[in-house]
């Protein structure tokens, strides 16, 4: 009987200008089931779920929710009434509002025209408590780290008592502890009969949480099945349409000169006396848990945040970096972690985004952009990274999450740089595209560039970096050779907290 399904989507089709995002896609979800929705970047996962949650309308196809045919389009309000909630892939919070205000945004509790702030605070407290999240409902969301903001999004969805909960890459910014916590909550709401759609590129985590998988490729439905009856190899080859040989391609090069060093850097609470060195032709991994100060370190080095003390040397000479432009002029590049906020101008086209990072190269006398050169740089960047888009003129916002990340990386590669810092470059990127990004880092390394690779994923740091610096609580706690260390050893340094005096 079809009633066992909480969601049935059939023959769903959806086009955007120049792209057929969904072509005759089916999707089924049962109550009490965690269904993974898998596919490469741009496969159409988010689009399908945005149709279910009322953000996009479908061009064709039928949708049944709890056995009821949904005739017209689903609006966000209808979705909410149906009990469908979505946690978006990209952080979607109002950064100037508080946690509680965000949780109740659009469904504020009020009576007689007055907001019942105290009740909202109380309820926000209780949902955060249930999630065991240590965040005050009165905190301003913009002050929270990416990982914490994502936790607030989860709290927000749970507060609306959803019966179908869609999680679009919920764990991509969470620490392993937060992920365990999330899984515990998923199991609880699943036991309550909730159906959960789980989109993730972290295939290794599926085994802990997923009952079944649906696989999409290029906007089409490919396969679905019980997770335990499939091998990871089958899943990957269904996703990419071919087998992936090496997940972590390493190239060996001879390490060159010490080109870059940071000495005794202090900046704010999260960068304390940090020192490290980078060599030509080497990938330096910076490992650590979320919140260990790695992003803050890259920001301070790059001149985004002020430094309190410390020195930076490039090719043996001390350099001053007071703002990102200083850094760029010296041949430093930073591909930041939060692509939507810091990495991209989402309202500009992909061409403009790539060109912006290279304007100094592209501008001729009088500030006129050399269009031919621009085209070359843009096209090379797009094809090097196999960015999937209908044309370079589309807004960066319209790309799938993973393809946006590729633009962030791509725009810097055209530059003649000496030191390239990647902050979590593979977050939200599919298996095949990850390999492409590793290969880019490898190419830079082979070209004698010093690559600094910040990552929370230990397997990739171990697999790709040559040397690893581990941070904990704003300090460097260890320095290791990748080939001679283990995940356990990295973790032991990553959790080497100072003894706090109460």
Reduced DSSP (H G I as helix, E B as strand, rest coil) percent helix, strand, coil of the chain, to 5: 35, 25, 35
> How many angstroms from the chain centroid is the CA of residue 15?
25
For residues 278 and 270, what is the distance between their CA atoms, to the nearest angstrom? 21
Q: Which of 42, 281, 291, 336 forms a contact with ligand ATP (CB under 6 A)?
A: 42
Q: Which of 16, 130, 359, 386 forms a contact with ligand ATP (CB under 6 A)?
A: 16
Cβ contact 286:454 at 8 Å: yes
- Of 25 and 482, nearer to ligand ATP (C-beta) is 25
Q: Which stretch binds ligand ATP (CB under 6 A): 14-22, 106-114, 347-355, 409-417?
A: 14-22
- In sign, the C-alpha dihedral spanning 188, 189, 193, 194 is negative
170 binding ligand ATP? (CB under 6 A): no
- Of 8 and 430, nearer to Mg ion (C-beta) is 430
For residues 5 and 8, what is the distance between their CA atoms, to the nearest angstrom? 6
- Of 9 and 300, nearer to ligand ATP (C-beta) is 9
Q: Which does 462 bind (CB under 5 to 8 A by kind): Mg ion, ligand ATP, none?
A: none
Q: Which does 41 bind (CB under 5 to 8 A by kind): ligand ATP, Mg ion, none?
A: ligand ATP
CB of 401 to Mg ion, least distance (A): 5
Q: Which stretch binds ligand ATP (CB under 6 A): 28-36, 137-145, 398-406, 452-460?
A: 398-406
CB of 60 to ligand ATP, least distance (A): 16
Total residues binding ligand ATP (CB under 6 A): 20
Q: Which of 298, 400, 417, 442 forms a contact with ligand ATP (CB under 6 A)?
A: 400
- Of 296 and 337, nearer to Mg ion (C-beta) is 337
Residue 260 neighbours by CB under 8 Å, 6+ apart: 277, 278, 312, 313, 314, 418, 419, 450
- Of 89 and 200, nearer to Mg ion (C-beta) is 89
Question: How wide is the angle at C-alpha 165 spanned by C-alphas 84 and 148, nearest 5°?
Answer: 120
Q: Which does 52 bind (CB under 5 to 8 A by kind): ligand ATP, Mg ion, none?
A: none
- Of 18 and 306, nearer to ligand ATP (C-beta) is 18
CB of 92 to Mg ion, least distance (A): 13
CB of 339 to Mg ion, least distance (A): 13
Residue 404 neighbours by CB under 8 Å, 6+ apart: 339, 340, 343, 344, 346, 396
Q: Which of 166, 300, 392, 399 forms a contact with ligand ATP (CB under 6 A)?
A: 399
Q: Which does 402 bind (CB under 5 to 8 A by kind): ligand ATP, Mg ion, none?
A: ligand ATP
Q: Which of 46, 298, 353, 417 forms a contact with Mg ion (CB under 5 A)?
A: 46
402 binding ligand ATP? (CB under 6 A): yes
127 binding ligand ATP? (CB under 6 A): no
For residues 209 and 212, what is the distance between their CA atoms, to the nearest angstrom? 10
- In sign, the C-alpha dihedral spanning 152, 494, 188, 30 is positive
Which residues in the 417-446 window bind ligand ATP by CB under 6 A? Answer: 430
21 binding ligand ATP? (CB under 6 A): yes
Cβ contact 451:295 at 8 Å: no
Q: Which stretch binds ligand ATP (CB under 6 A): 99-107, 248-256, 401-409, 475-483?
A: 401-409
For residues 356 and 415, what is the distance between their CA atoms, to the nearest angstrom? 11
In the structure, how many helices (H) and strands (E) does the chain have? Answer: 16, 22
Reported residue count of the chain is 502
Cβ contact 259:243 at 8 Å: no
- Of 29 and 265, nearer to Mg ion (C-beta) is 29
Whole-Å CA distances, 27 to 58, 82, 231, 394: 14, 17, 21, 28
Strands 220-226 and 258-267: unpaired
- Of 331 and 425, nearer to ligand ATP (C-beta) is 425
Phi, psi dihedrals of residue 14, rounded to the nearest 5°:
-155, 125
CB of 453 to ligand ATP, least distance (A): 21
The Cβ of residue 391 has, within 10 Å, a number of other Cβ atoms equal to 12
Cβ contact 358:316 at 8 Å: no
In the complex, residue closest to Mg ion by CB: 46
Which residues in the 71-110 window bind Mg ion by CB under 5 A? Answer: 89
Which residues in the 259-288 window bind ligand ATP by CB under 6 A? Answer: none
Q: Which of 6, 7, 12, 19 forms a contact with ligand ATP (CB under 6 A)?
A: 19
Cβ contact 12:73 at 8 Å: no
Which residues in the 43-72 window bind ligand ATP by CB under 6 A? Answer: 43-47
For residues 320 and 311, what is the distance between their CA atoms, to the nearest angstrom? 8
Strands 5-16 and 282-288: unpaired
Sheet of strand 19-30: strand arrangement: 19-30, 5-16, 60-65, 68-69
For residues 147 and 485, what is the distance between their CA atoms, to the nearest angstrom? 27
Binding mask 68-107 for ligand ATP (x = CB under 6 A): ---------------------x------------------
Q: Which of 343, 401, 425, 474 forms a contact with ligand ATP (CB under 6 A)?
A: 401
Binding mask 381-410 for Mg ion (x = CB under 5 A): --------------------x---------
Task: Give the closest residue to 27 by CA, choosing from 196, 190, 170, 224.
Answer: 224
Residues forming the site for Mg ion (CB under 5 A): 46, 89, 401
Which residues are near ligand ATP by CB under 6 A? Answer: 16, 19, 21, 39, 41-47, 89, 388, 398-403, 430
């Amino acid at each position: 009987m079809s009633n066992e399904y909480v969601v049935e989507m059939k023959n769903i089709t959806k086009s955007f200008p120049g792209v057929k995002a969904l072509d005759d896609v089916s999707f089924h979800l049962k109550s009490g089931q965690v269904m993974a929705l898998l596919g490469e970047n741009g496969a159409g996962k988010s689009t399908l779920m945005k149709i279910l949650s009322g953000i996009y309308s479908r061009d064709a196809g039928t949708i049944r929710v709890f056995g009821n045919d949904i005739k017209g389009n689903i609006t966000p309000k209808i979705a909410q009434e149906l009990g469908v909630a979505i946690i978006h892939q990209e952080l979607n919070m109002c950064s100037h509002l508080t946690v509680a205000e965000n949780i109740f945004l659009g469904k504020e509790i009020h009576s007689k025209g007055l907001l019942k702030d105290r009740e909202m605070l109380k309820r926000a407290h209780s949902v955060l408590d249930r999630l065991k999240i240590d965040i005050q409902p009165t905190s301003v969301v913009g002050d929270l780290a990416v990982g914490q903001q994502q936790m607030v999004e989860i709290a927000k969805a749970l507060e609306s008592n959803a019966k179908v909960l869609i999680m679009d890459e919920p764990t991509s910014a969470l620490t392993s502890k937060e992920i365990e916590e999330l899984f515990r909550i998923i199991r609880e709401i699943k036991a309550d009969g909730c159906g959960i759609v789980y989109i993730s590129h972290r295939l290794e985590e599926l085994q802990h949480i997923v009952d079944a998988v649906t696989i999409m490729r290029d906007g089409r439905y490919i396969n679905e099945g019980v997770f335990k009856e499939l091998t990871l190899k089958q899943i990957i080859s269904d996703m990419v349409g071919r087998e992936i040989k090496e997940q972590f391609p390493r190239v060996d090069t001879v390490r060159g000169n010490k080109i870059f060093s940071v000495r005794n850097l202090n900046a704010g609470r999260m960068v304390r006396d940090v020192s490290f060195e980078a060599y030509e032709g080497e990938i330096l991994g910076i490992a650590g848990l979320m919140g260990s100060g790695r992003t803050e370190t890259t920001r301070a080095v790059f001149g985004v945040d002020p430094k309190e003390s410390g020195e930076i040397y490039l090719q043996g000479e001390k350099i001053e970096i007071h703002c990102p432009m200083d850094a760029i002029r010296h041949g430093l590049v930073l591909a930041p972690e939060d692509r939507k906020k810091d990495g991209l101008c989402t309202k500009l086209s992909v061409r403009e985004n790539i060109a912006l990072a290279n304007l100094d190269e592209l501008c001729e006398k009088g500030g006129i952009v050399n269009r031919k050169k621009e085209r070359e740089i843009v096209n090379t960047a797009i094809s090097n990274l196999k960015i999937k888009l209908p044309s370079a003129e589309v807004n960066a916002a319209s790309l799938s999450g993973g393809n946006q990340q590729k633009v962030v990386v791509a725009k810097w590669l055209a530059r003649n740089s000496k030191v390239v810092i990647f902050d979590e470059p593979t977050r939200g990127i599919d298996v095949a595209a990850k390999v492409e990004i590793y290969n880019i880092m490898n190419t830079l390394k082979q070209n004698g560039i010093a690559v600094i690779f910040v990552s929370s994923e230990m397997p990739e740091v171990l697999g790709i970096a040559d040397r690893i610096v581990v941070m904990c609580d704003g300090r460097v706690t260890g320095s290791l050779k990748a080939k001679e260390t283990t995940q356990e050893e990295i973790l032991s340094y990553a959790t080497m907290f100072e003894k706090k005096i109460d």
